[in-house]
Amino acid sequence: MVQWRRLGAAAAFGSALLAMAACSGDGGRESATPAIPGVDLEGKVLRIGALNDESGPAAVVGIPYAIGKRLLAKHVNDGDSGLLPAGWTLELVERDHGYNPQRSVQLFNEIRDEVLFIGTSFGTPNTLPLRPLLQRHGLVAFPASLSSKMAEFRYTPPGGPSYQVEAMRAFDWAVEHAGGKDQIRPGILYQHDDYGKDGLQAWRQAAEHHGVEIVAEQANAPGQADFTAAINALKKAGATHVLLTVLPSATGPALGTAAQLDYAPIWIGNTPSWIDRFFDPEVIPPSVFDNYYWVMGSPYWGEDTPFAREFEALYEQYGRDMAPPDFYMMTSYLQGRIALDVFSRALAAGDPSREGFMQALTTLEDYDAGGAVPFKLDFTDMPYVVGVEARVLKPLMDQASWREVAPFAQPQALQATPNAQP
């Protein structure tokens, strides 16, 4: 099994901290060392929070994402994972906000004093309202979001290239696929929230760079069921390549509606537009995805890399009874491994408090999680640098796999403005 780093020092420092906490003060009085939220030094227990969506419009993504953290806990608590120092166990404090931003704030306040950090804050619109609370309590929340706004805020470190990087890379590929800027008529279907606006802004920026006019911009609401008007508008405008900055709950109905209306552009989906359940012909006819492509910068299920193979083995051991294979389960698990590495660094440095955790996070420089991610993470300064390259994949529906049609590359619009932040 791949081990990310040696944790002997972490165990030694953890023992020292435990001894300090147990020692008597002057005259035999009990030490006044304050308790650390989410850290039981004596019992060697780490408690982390998870604000999931298991009942809202993004539940098809949120459920496997939640399971990814549960699989991580099983792996750690089974012993000998190497992800925490010897003897330490992991507890999850989970809540379901149902993709409701107000509910997310309420549940954060409910669990904030029980955890060291939030291991999952699911969704862009549900994470952004937490920012003042995270800052007030010095509490890091790892977002299940690649919104560009996450890298701009100290307490929401993202785990990969932003939706904007994806969208701009998709535009470059679309121009090439169309045969040049004079042959493309780009359109976009985007979710009417901060996630969707990320894709829209980047699509516009890339179009301006290439000197191309966007012929149609259509918005949808989370959970929207009827896409007839939006698809008709894209068809009427003659859009040849359409970016999908939407959730899977919109991808299926939108593409299905397009098929019924005999409209077959090239669809290019941001990362959250896809779920691996689409590979199941009983979920949706495979032909619906004949013109679908996926732009993303993360590892995917079945990729021929050491991490992907290692995770699939862990899934067979711990996760097969929990859920079918899913890309988001792997992504969530990987995000959790990174967070545990940060905690282990804080413990080794002698300060597993929230302040110490943040300090340990800033030591991640030129970091690829032991080769698990195909890009470099840098949390040493703001805004965080989390990759500026993405690739384009084509689903092989009969094989439940992927073919790369465009390699990792930095979007041309970013190359033209190297000082711009994606």
> What six digits make up the tokens of 196?
């969707």
The mean per-residue pLDDT over the stretch 227-250 comes to 97
Based on C-alpha coordinates, what's the Rg of the chain?
A: 22
Bridge partners, residue 46, by sequence: 39, 90
What would the DSSP string read from start to end of 277-345?
GGGSTTTS-GGGGTTEEEEE-S--TT-SSHHHHHHHHHIIIIITTT-S--HHHHHHHHHHHHHHHHHHH
Cα separation, 49 vs 142, in Å, equals 10
> What residues contact 252, with CB distance under 8 A and at least 6 apart?
278, 283, 284, 288
Cα separation, 8 vs 22, in Å, equals 21
Nearest Cα residue to 159 out of 148, 143, 141 = 143
Read off the pLDDT of residues 132-145 as tens digits, 9 standing for 90 and up: 999 999 999 999 99
> Residue 387 — φ and ψ, nearest 5°?
100, 135
pLDDT at 54: 97
Report residue 416's pLDDT band, with 50, 70 and 90 as the boundaries.
confident
pLDDT at 4 over 60: no
Cα separation, 105 vs 213, in Å, equals 40
Please report which helix (H) or strand (E) contains residue 186, including its range. Answer: strand 186-191
Q: What stretch(es) of the chain map to CATH 3.40.50.2300?
A: 8-160+302-361, 163-296+390-416
The CATH architecture assigned to 163-296+390-416 reads 3-Layer(aba) Sandwich (3.40)
Cα separation, 76 vs 59, in Å, equals 25
Cα separation, 192 vs 125, in Å, equals 10
pLDDT at 25: 39
Bridge partners, residue 50, by sequence: 94, 120
Superfamily of domain 8-160+302-361: Response regulator (3.40.50.2300)
Cα separation, 167 vs 214, in Å, equals 13
pLDDT at 417: 66
* Stated pTM of the model: 0.88
pLDDT at 311 over 80: yes
Which residue's entry shows tokens 């679908």?
292
